[in-house]
Chains A and B, each alone.
Chain A
Amino acid sequence: MVKKIFANIYIYLILFLMYLPILLLVVFSFTESANIGVWTGFSFDLFPRLFQSHEIMVALGNTIIIALISSIVSVLLGTLGAIGTFYSKKRSKRAIEAVTQIPVVNAEIVMALSLTVLFVFLGTYIFRTSIFSFFTLLIGHVCLSLPFVYLSVKPKLQQMDPNLYEAAMDLGCTPRIALFKAVIPQIIPGVISGFLLSMTLSLDDFIVSAFLRGPGLLSGDKSIETLSTLVQAKIKKGPIPPELRALTTILFLLILTAIIVITIYRNHFARNSGIKRKLRRMKNGVR
């Protein structure tokens, strides 16, 4: 009994410590003070100011656009790559697997720097102009998240019954339909977690963004500003803009609701595959 109480206290203590900074930030987003940690009375002012701040809105927009596009691209490439590798011969499989491990353990700075060198090289000798733009940034983000997508899809493929694809073909699927009807449903949890991973990686990435960005997107002719590069630029000159506190609160609440919704969906609605059929059966009075 005592043991159980201690175990519970331990868990809640850890959880409390984990969430304490976030909770503090949420609390402080409801005060106007320019400096962090100084309470100057309760106010909602930061929120309207946030939406009026052109700079922050542009950076937020850029960040979301890049995160979405790079995640979609990495999920497509990574999933197809994982499926292709899974069904390829042993030797090439081993080679590809070794290669995909490297970016995961590699320092981000190494990749950012090497891509920069590559693009500068291409810009100087082949295109004869600077090629830094949204696309170089996109390539950087895709390179960053692609191995993670591969690594989250691969175990799902390994857990899958290897005969499923053939079983689908046996029952009349063409190879492409068999892929969508038999293989993809088995690996979709891996694909989704790969997508979420790439979203987080891309959303808070600074190094790759700082090195590879060029003009484009909502920033127009100026260099693309993402949230992380914006914050970096701001704290070089002064304090963090107070509006960002409101932004993080909104982001936190959005993610919290998303997680709650997903959990509820999983627990209550996941197994609804037969509903249509059951309704039909009731209508026809078969049983």
Chain B
Amino acid sequence: MEDNFIITLEHLNKSFGDSLIVDDFNLSIKKGEFVTFLGPSGCGKTTTLRMISGFEIPTKGRVLLNGKDVTNLPPYKRPINTVFQRYALFPHLDVYDNVAFGLKLKKTPIQVKKRISFFDYWRKRNEIKFSDFVKNLFSKQPTLLKEVTKMKHLPPKVIDQKVARALKIVDLEDLEDRSIDTLSGGQQQRVAIARAIVNEPEILLLDEPLGALDLKMRKEMQIELKEMHKKLGITFIYVTHDQEEALTMSDTVIVMKGGVVQQVGTPTQIYNEPKNAFVADFIGESNIYSANMVDKKRVRFLNWTWDCVDDFEINENVDVVVRPEDIILLGPRTTNLIGTIKSKIFKGVHYEYIVVVGKSELQVRDTRDLKVDSHVSIKIDPQNIQIMKKQYNINAFYDAYITKNNKVAMSDDEFDCDLTQLLPGSKIDSDGYLTKNGVRYNLTDAPVAVEIDIKNIELSDDINASEVHGVVINSIWKGDYYQVLVRSASEEDYVLDTQDSWNVNDIVSIIVKKENINLRLKGDISKYEEDA
């Protein structure tokens, strides 16, 4: 069974000190596949790659290459080459020598004929006459020979040819003699790729190789990398945090979060059938709602009951994702859900609308030019409603934002939070701005995803204990604790584990400690840099 898989990762675990970076990673990659590890920074994707290349030894688990265990094999003995994030070209060598670096180290066995030695004679002393041996020892054309395997460096001519071929693949034929510092970023990138592929590795690892290039260059290189993959026919393992890059290039995408694999699938599967709310939110734009299965293949969210195609148990609480392009806006009619257009942005091919339904918002893409404040009815095809199992260990809110008081708000529920976690090494200055190395960030209204562990929410019947209040919707005895669902005044649901028993319809304060709120910024933090 392992014949088809070039690399297999079995229960891979990696921790540095106390922090677990990669948790029970299982994966098999077929020969010739283009596989992408996708995830936000710090999700363990680079660490996994480094375990494949041999720069990190897993704490637990095995790495199998063609069925053989290579877990503890050092990097220089693996038929794997890496294209590094910032190229890591050797600045003291020119383009040719950079590309030839690996080839010059390589030794191949060569059969050579050698005069036999005394020991060889002694072993065969019955067959060979001593006088013949002595004659052979001093003759210029010895007749008694033996075959020996010698490890020899590749001849310069072969290296020349291979380097020329590799440089041709990356389109740099004429730059052999240029020194590295005279090349542009894109050219350096190509040299790095040539340097890796010239060794004819079985697997090529690429660690965010396009991160340092500008947008246009990146798009070009994406296409070229894909073509190179087709041409070379070797396995590519690609690491990126850019979901678009992952969807464009890969055969298989592995979405990771916090060291755990969230979903493995083709780009279409990942986009159309995300397994959970995290994947749906991370890949592309999406509307995510908490929903309830009210009947067989009937789901209720946005205070409306929809037909759907996924079969879940009746009464199960689920997450629902609808892509903005799958929502159809029609003229107002009573048989459909009615909403109001709150805003619109022209995006070239389409308009992006925010439609308000009750207290919820929908993101919608439409090519027609509709008026703001007009009423529209909303239609969604049943197969475009993707229903996902709810994750009950965390509360996730994907449409939260930062208020001007540095609080985080889910709808109208505001909680104190620690903004410095968005940027390692930052702090809050006296004016309330996030700063790092003298750069200020104005995060007011910045969209964030919020995660709160269900163990970290507390309830209190003291109405002054928190600004956020809610009603207990249900409370389930789980053996030795209660799992309580609370709905806040702004219709956000909070799930929590508690030892206390609460009655349905109790009005409670919802308390979450600052340090227990995990934030993830949507988009890059550099967007929020404040002009001095």
* A, B assembled together: yes
> Which A residues are closer than 8 A to B by beta carbons?
161, 163-164, 166-175, 177-178, 181-182, 185-186, 271, 273-274, 277-278, 280-281, 284, 286
* Contact present for A274 and B160 (CB under 8 Å): no
Given A170-B81, A182-B90: 5 more A-B contacts, CB < 8 Å: A170-B75, A172-B105, A172-B199, A174-B74, A273-B94
Q: Which of B94, B102, B176 contacts A171 (CB 8 A)?
A: B102
* Contact present for A171 and B195 (CB under 8 Å): yes
What is the chain B residue whose CB lies nearest that of A177?
A: B105
Does B177 reach chain A (CB closer than 8 Å)? yes
* Contact present for B160 and A280 (CB under 8 Å): yes
Does B53 reach chain A (CB closer than 8 Å)? yes
* Contact present for A273 and B97 (CB under 8 Å): yes
- Interchain CA distance A229-B481 in the complex, whole Å: 86
A to B CB contacts below 8 Å, 5 in the list: A163-B85, A166-B82, A167-B82, A171-B101, A274-B176
* Contact present for B82 and A170 (CB under 8 Å): yes
Q: Contacts A168-B101, A172-B105, A173-B76; is A280 near B92 (CB within 8 Å)? A: no
The main secondary structure of chain B at its interface with chain A is mixed
Write the nearest CB–CB distance from A284 to chain B, whole angstroms.
Answer: 7
Q: Contacts A169-B75, A170-B76, A274-B96; is A163 near B84 (CB within 8 Å)? A: yes
Hey, which chain B residues are within 8 Å of A166, CB to CB?
Answer: 55, 75, 82, 84, 88
* Contact present for B96 and A170 (CB under 8 Å): no
- Interchain CA distance A175-B74 in the complex, whole Å: 10
- Interchain CA distance A286-B159 in the complex, whole Å: 13
> Which B residues are closer than 8 A to A by beta carbons?
53, 55, 74-76, 80-82, 84-94, 96-97, 101-102, 105-106, 156-157, 160, 176-177, 179, 195-196, 199
What is the chain B residue whose CB lies nearest that of A172?
A: B105
Hey, which chain B residues are within 8 Å of A163, CB to CB?
Answer: 84-86, 88
Closest 7 CB pairs of A and B: A163-B88, A171-B102, A167-B88, A185-B92, A172-B105, A163-B84, A169-B75
Write the nearest CB–CB distance from B117 to chain A, whole angstroms.
Answer: 30
What is the chain A residue whose CB lies nearest that of B195?
A: A171
- Interchain CA distance A173-B177 in the complex, whole Å: 23
Write the nearest CB–CB distance from A162 to chain B, whole angstroms.
Answer: 8
Hey, which chain B residues are within 8 Å of A175, CB to CB?
Answer: 74
Hey, which chain B residues are within 8 Å of A169, CB to CB?
Answer: 55, 74-76
- Interchain CA distance A172-B76 in the complex, whole Å: 4
Hey, which chain B residues are within 8 Å of A181, CB to CB?
Answer: 101
- Interchain CA distance A71-B85 in the complex, whole Å: 38
What is the chain B residue whose CB lies nearest that of A167?
A: B88
What is the chain A residue whose CB lies nearest that of B159?
A: A277
- Interchain CA distance A167-B91 in the complex, whole Å: 12
- Interchain CA distance A132-B101 in the complex, whole Å: 50
Hey, which chain A residues are within 8 Å of B91, CB to CB?
Answer: 161, 186
Hey, which chain B residues are within 8 Å of A278, CB to CB?
Answer: 177
- Interchain CA distance A56-B92 in the complex, whole Å: 43
Q: Contacts A163-B84, A167-B82, A280-B160; is A173 near B105 (CB within 8 Å)? A: yes
Write the nearest CB–CB distance from A160 to chain B, whole angstroms.
Answer: 8
Hey, which chain A residues are within 8 Å of B97, CB to CB?
Answer: 273-274
Hey, which chain A residues are within 8 Å of B195, CB to CB?
Answer: 171
What is the chain B residue whose CB lies nearest that of A162?
A: B88
What is the chain A residue whose CB lies nearest that of B78?
A: A170
* Contact present for B76 and A174 (CB under 8 Å): yes
- Interchain CA distance A166-B97 in the complex, whole Å: 17
- Interchain CA distance A284-B81 in the complex, whole Å: 31
- Interchain CA distance A72-B20 in the complex, whole Å: 45
Q: Which of A164, A174, A273, A281 contacts B160 (CB 8 A)?
A: A281
Q: Contacts A274-B96, A284-B157; is A171 near B199 (CB within 8 Å)? A: yes
Q: Which of A161, A171, A185, A281 contacts B105 (CB 8 A)?
A: A171
- Interchain CA distance A182-B104 in the complex, whole Å: 14
- Interchain CA distance A113-B196 in the complex, whole Å: 56
Write the nearest CB–CB distance from A45 to chain B, whole angstroms.
Answer: 50
Hey, which chain A residues are within 8 Å of B94, CB to CB?
Answer: 273-274
Q: Contacts A166-B84, A274-B96; is A172 near B106 (CB within 8 Å)? A: yes
Q: Contacts A171-B81, A173-B76; is A161 near B86 (CB within 8 Å)? A: yes
* Contact present for A164 and B106 (CB under 8 Å): no
Hey, which chain A residues are within 8 Å of B88, CB to CB?
Answer: 161, 163-164, 166-167
**Most chain-B CB neighbours within 10 Å: which of A172, A173, A177?**
A172
Hey, which chain A residues are within 8 Å of B87, CB to CB?
Answer: 161
Write the nearest CB–CB distance from A192 to chain B, whole angstroms.
Answer: 14
What is the chain A residue whose CB lies nearest that of B192?
A: A167
Hey, which chain A residues are within 8 Å of B81, CB to CB?
Answer: 170-171
- Interchain CA distance A114-B94 in the complex, whole Å: 50
What is the chain A residue whose CB lies nearest that of B102?
A: A171
Q: Which of B55, B90, B157, B179 contacts A164 (CB 8 A)?
A: B90
**Most chain-B CB neighbours within 10 Å: which of A170, A174, A178?**
A170
- Interchain CA distance A163-B208 in the complex, whole Å: 14
- Interchain CA distance A173-B75 in the complex, whole Å: 9
Hey, which chain A residues are within 8 Å of B86, CB to CB?
Answer: 161, 163
Write the nearest CB–CB distance from B421 to chain A, whole angstroms.
Answer: 21
- Interchain CA distance A172-B107 in the complex, whole Å: 10
Write the nearest CB–CB distance from B69 to chain A, whole angstroms.
Answer: 20
Hey, which chain A residues are within 8 Å of B177, CB to CB?
Answer: 274, 278
* Contact present for B53 and A170 (CB under 8 Å): yes
What is the chain A residue whose CB lies nearest that of B207?
A: A163
What is the chain A residue whose CB lies nearest that of B91?
A: A186
Write the nearest CB–CB distance from A149 to chain B, whole angstroms.
Answer: 20
* Contact present for B96 and A277 (CB under 8 Å): yes
Write the nearest CB–CB distance from B479 to chain A, whole angstroms.
Answer: 45
What is the chain A residue whose CB lies nearest that of B107?
A: A172
